[in-house]
């Protein structure tokens, strides 16, 4: 305590130099915390978006993750309703779950054959109620309203397509898609797309006859059924939606789950390619994955809930299903680390320079203290305490300034467009509510400041008493 009291007095003896050093620390801490809060906000925002779209965990047929996009129908999950019932009744999983919903992915060709155009697409059959429930998850309190699926309350044959699909199928005018200039087709392209092939045309005519009056946004979706034979579903497009990623815009078709099952499985027992599980909190994922592993391993002695043993399923989390999540968060973590190292280097040299100047100015004082019996360790301790106290004051002031600036930014009404988003979102910086980040930054600065003071303190302690006393 006596060493810190003397250190504080020594810092106050040269207020201008101490304030300059504190200012450098304050700016450094504020910069680290603000960027760290911004990076943290991006991490949690990405997590929220992926959890709303694909849940925390997905049960899929074994090897579907690696090979399923080539032939989704071959990796369908049979008896999925029973599996969902087992999950919802499980005494361990049930308290964690908010949503359990099936999903069916399929590939095919979407065509607007009245205009003589078609393109390959990737379709997804969803349970609309489950999809809307997924969108309600907001564990981190983002000021963004949950979106409702455009398929809500729509007819069984309704579909939503990406804006890129709408452009290729020449549905921009009917669906009021902006930024959609007419394509300049060549004579060769026109000859190829003038009419649908005979077999597709026959299937399309059959669908049209069942549907009655043709809608101006009517398309046909051709896909291979579970037996490899072609099948066509007539769909009425009710909206063209921007997906935020051009590859998705150019291929996405979303339809009702029942319609997708009829297209792929016909009169056979319907299947799905994924069972989406959304948890109350992301921190519950390890426990949920462990419980799912137990259920998939087989029945347990004395278990009250039926197990899923023998079912060829595997579990994937949202980070595995969306590898860009790890790439983006890793990039921001690397940038934050680089900024922290850079600012740490600046603080290191600033405090070291301050302490070196203090040693030069107080050489006679150091000699006097040594002559009075203070050991070299005491001299080192005195200067290290000064550096540590500078670091503590700089960290405290930097945290307060960062909290104030974060509050201003969060209430400024600024917005930005994150990667993969279509609509701007409020710009927020998460400093308050991140005690781990604040504590790590403060302790890191104090350690750097103490380390910066150690070398000048060592040099001061090694001064010969006689040389120090006669220093001018």
- Going by C-alpha positions, the residue among 308, 301, 113, 120 that lies closest to residue 223 is 120
pLDDT value of position 309: 67
pLDDT value of position 11: 66
- What value does the mean pLDDT of the chain take? 81
Reply yes or no on whether the pLDDT at 53 is more than 60: yes
pLDDT value of position 193: 47
| pLDDT tens-place string over residues 320-336 | 998 888 888 899 899 98
pLDDT band at 191 (very low <50, low <70, confident <90, very high): very low
- Going by C-alpha positions, the residue among 372, 391, 366 that lies closest to residue 456 is 366
Ranges 62-66, 305-309, 377-381, most confident: 62-66
Q: What angle do CA 444, 445, 447 make, to 5 degrees?
A: 65
Q: Which tokens go with 158? A: 């309704």
pLDDT band at 273 (very low <50, low <70, confident <90, very high): very high
- Residues whose CB falls within 8 Å of the CB of residue 20, separated by 6 or more in sequence, listed in order: 354
| pLDDT tens-place string over residues 416-469 | 777 667 777 788 898 888 889 999 988 988 888 888 777 777 776 666 666 656
pLDDT band at 59 (very low <50, low <70, confident <90, very high): very high
Q: What angle do CA 18, 19, 20 make, to 5 degrees?
A: 90
Let me know how long the chain is.
472
Global confidence as pTM: 0.80
Provide mean pLDDT across the span 240-247. Answer: 83
Provide mean pLDDT across the span 224-230. Answer: 78
Reply yes or no on whether the pLDDT at 344 is more than 80: yes
pLDDT band at 12 (very low <50, low <70, confident <90, very high): low
Domain ranges of the chain: 2-47+326-469, 63-311
pLDDT band at 125 (very low <50, low <70, confident <90, very high): very high
pLDDT value of position 434: 87
pLDDT value of position 465: 66
Provide mean pLDDT across the span 342-349. Answer: 83
- Residues whose CB falls within 8 Å of the CB of residue 185, separated by 6 or more in sequence, listed in order: 193
């Amino acid at each position: 305590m006596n060493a810190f009291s003397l250190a504080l007095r020594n810092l106050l003896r040269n207020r201008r130099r101490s304030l300059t050093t504190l200012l450098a620390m304050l700016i450094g801490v504020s910069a680290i915390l603000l960027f760290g809060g911004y990076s943290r906000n991006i991490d949690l925002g990405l997590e929220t978006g992926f959890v709303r779209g694909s849940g925390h965990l997905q049960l899929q047929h074994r090897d579907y993750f690696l090979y399923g996009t080539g032939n989704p129908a071959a990796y369908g999950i049979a008896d999925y309703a029973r599996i969902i019932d087992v999950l919802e009744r499980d005494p361990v999983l049930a308290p964690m779950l908010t949503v359990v919903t099936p999903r069916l992915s399929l590939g095919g060709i979407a065509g607007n054959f009245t205009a003589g155009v078609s393109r390959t697409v990737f379709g997804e059959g969803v349970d609309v109620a489950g999809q809307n429930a997924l969108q309600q998850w907001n564990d981190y309190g983002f000021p963004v309203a949950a979106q409702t699926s455009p398929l809500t309350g729509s007819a069984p044959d309704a579909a939503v397509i990406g804006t890129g699909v709408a452009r290729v199928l020449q549905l921009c005018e009917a669906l009021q898609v902006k930024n959609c200039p007419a394509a300049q087709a060549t004579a060769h392209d026109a000859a190829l797309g003038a009419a649908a092939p005979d077999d597709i045309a026959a299937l399309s005519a059959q669908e049209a006859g069942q549907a009655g009056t043709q809608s101006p946004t009517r398309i046909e979706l051709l896909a291979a059924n579970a037996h490899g034979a072609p099948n066509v579903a007539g769909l009425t497009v009710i909206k063209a939606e921007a997906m935020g990623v051009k590859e998705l815009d150019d291929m996405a078709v979303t339809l009702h789950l029942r319609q997708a099952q009829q297209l792929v499985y016909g009169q056979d027992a319907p299947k799905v390619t994924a069972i989406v599980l959304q948890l109350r909190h992301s921190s519950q994922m390890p426990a949920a994955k462990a419980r799912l592993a137990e259920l998939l391993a087989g029945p347990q002695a004395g278990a009250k809930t039926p197990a899923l043993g023998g079912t060829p399923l595997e579990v994937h989390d949202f980070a595995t299903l969306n590898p860009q999540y790890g790439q983006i968060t890793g990039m921001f973590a690397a940038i934050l680390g680089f900024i922290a190292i850079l600012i740490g280097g600046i603080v290191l040299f600033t405090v070291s320079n301050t302490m070196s100047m203090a040693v030069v100015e107080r050489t006679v004082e150091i000699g006097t203290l040594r002559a009075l019996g203070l050991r070299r360790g005491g001299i080192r301790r005195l200067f290290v305490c000064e550096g540590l106290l500078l670091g503590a004051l700089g960290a405290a002031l930097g945290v307060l300034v960062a909290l104030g600036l974060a509050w201003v930014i969060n209430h400024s009404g600024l917005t930005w467009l994150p990667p993969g988003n279509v609509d701007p979102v409020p710009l927020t910086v998460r400093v308050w509510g991140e005690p781990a980040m604040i504590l790590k930054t403060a302790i890191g600065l104090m350690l750097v400041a103490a380390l910066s003071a150690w070398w000048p303190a060592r040099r001061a302690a090694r001064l010969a008493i006689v040389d120090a006393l006669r220093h001018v």
